[in-house]
Amino acid sequence: MTAPFAPPALPGYEHLYSGKVRDLYAPLDEAGAQRTDRLLLVASDRISAYDHVLDPPIPDKGAVLTQLSLWWFDQLADLAPHHVVSTDVPEAVAGRAVLVERLDMLPVECVARGYLTGGGLAEYRAKGEVSGVPLPAGLVDGSRLEEPVFTPSTKAPMGEHDEPISYDGVVAEIGPALAEQVRDLTVRILLRGNEIAAERGILLADTKVEFGLRGLDLAKGEDAGEAIRSRGASCEVVLADEVLTPDSSRFWPAEEWEPGRPQPSFDKQFVRDWLTSPESGWSKDSGVAPPSLPAEVVQATRARYVEAYERLTGTPFA
């Protein structure tokens, strides 16, 4: 795997954690201690495909996806409160970072699928259902589902794949009231997202959102899971992380939708096509890091991120 791109040191912040494409920091107080009420969520220009972080980064990808997520939080504000506090962030990450309220995160990756593909399609082909929800016979890759299906998974440790869990598994984790609330919210977020995106020529096949709790007030040393199960139902559920971006959702160009085959990705198709072409000299089953992307693939991919932002928001990307 290509050496991961080191997240920038940010004076006044402590780097906590890096995912494939995002970095998490804690703001420090005057005494240099971590603030416990805020986090800085930074979107890098890194892009991943076939489980590899690719090289080079895509210029402006972090900023485009941050600005898109902020726009979606506004579009969804009537469905759920969100965690965004401010976009007043260090110059080094201007436009691609958000100061957020630190929440007690629910240990569930909340996924809703409006179209059948990927892991959901594989489960359907094996069992005729997905996440315990029976589906009609005869569905194919890219079939639109009558209504979105909630297909949650557990949060896997860094670098591992999330494990699908049943709705009952979610109930066991966070209690029946919260489970119902996050399932309904996740489905409504995808429906709203598609109402808006479809008009602009983009289909959101599926999305992953994360929720946190406001008001849990964990005592020192208290087990978060126990507290969520016992008191979580009386807390406020807050939409966190990023929302309805090409990194958290499958973006498909609507005019190319054709059930019965893998759908082209709105944003990652140039990368996938090049990496799987003879020109790259790479094989996705090789287990070795992919070669660096050619400049024209980088630029074409940047243009697709910008195009998605401008189509959805109706605003030029500055």
Ligand X SMILES: C[C@H](c1ccccc1)n1cc(-c2ncnc(N)c2C#N)cn1
Return the number of the residue (142 or 212) whose C-beta is nearest ligand X.
212
Interface with ligand X includes 79 (CB under 6 A)? no
In the complex, the smallest distance separating the C-beta of residue 84 from ligand X, rounded to whole angstroms, is: 9
Q: From the list 24, 28, 133, 300, which residue makes contact with ligand X (rule: CB under 6 A)? A: 24
Q: Which two tokens stand for residue 220?
A: 């020192």
Give the one residue of 19, 56, 118, 291 binding ligand X; rule: CB under 6 A.
19
* Residue 130 vs 216, nearer CB to ligand X: 216
Is residue 302 close enough to count as binding ligand X by CB under 6 A?
A: no
Closer of 102 and 253 to ligand X (Cβ)? 102
Of the candidates 294, 247, 249, 297, which has an alpha carbon nearest to the alpha carbon of residue 271? 297
Q: Does 218 bind ligand X (CB under 6 A)?
A: no
Spatial separation of the C-alpha atoms in residues 12 and 88, rounded to whole Å: 13
Among 13, 22, 149, 206, the residue binding ligand X under the rule CB under 6 A is: 22
Q: Does 7 bind ligand X (CB under 6 A)?
A: no
SS3 content of the chain, % helix, strand, coil (to 5): 30, 25, 45
The interface mask with ligand X, positions 104-133, x = CB under 6 A, is -x----------------------------
Nearer to ligand X, 214 or 229 (CB): 214
CA distance 214 to 102: 9
Q: Note whether 202 binds ligand X by CB under 6 A.
A: no
User: In degrees, to the nearest 5, what angle opens at C-alpha 280 toward C-alphas 278 and 283?
Assistant: 75
Name every residue whose Cβ is closer than 8 Å to that of residue 288 and which is 6 or more positions away in sequence.
282
Residue 82 interacting with ligand X (CB under 6 A): no
Binding of ligand X by 212 (CB under 6 A): yes
CB atoms within 10 A of CB 249: 26
Distances (CA, A) of 226 to 132, 161, 213, 232, 291: 25, 25, 14, 9, 46
Asked if 103 interacts with ligand X (CB under 6 A), we say yes
Q: Which of 10, 108, 240, 297 binds ligand X (CB under 6 A)?
A: 240
Written as six digits, the tokens of 158 are 């860094």
**Amino acid found at 268:** K
Q: In the complex with ligand X, which residue's Cβ is closer, 4 or 128?
A: 4
* Calpha distance 34→13 (Å, rounded): 8
The C-alpha atoms of residue 54 and residue 77 are separated, in whole angstroms, by: 34
Give contact residues for ligand X (rule: CB under 6 A): 17, 19, 22-24, 39, 41, 83, 100-103, 105, 212, 240-241
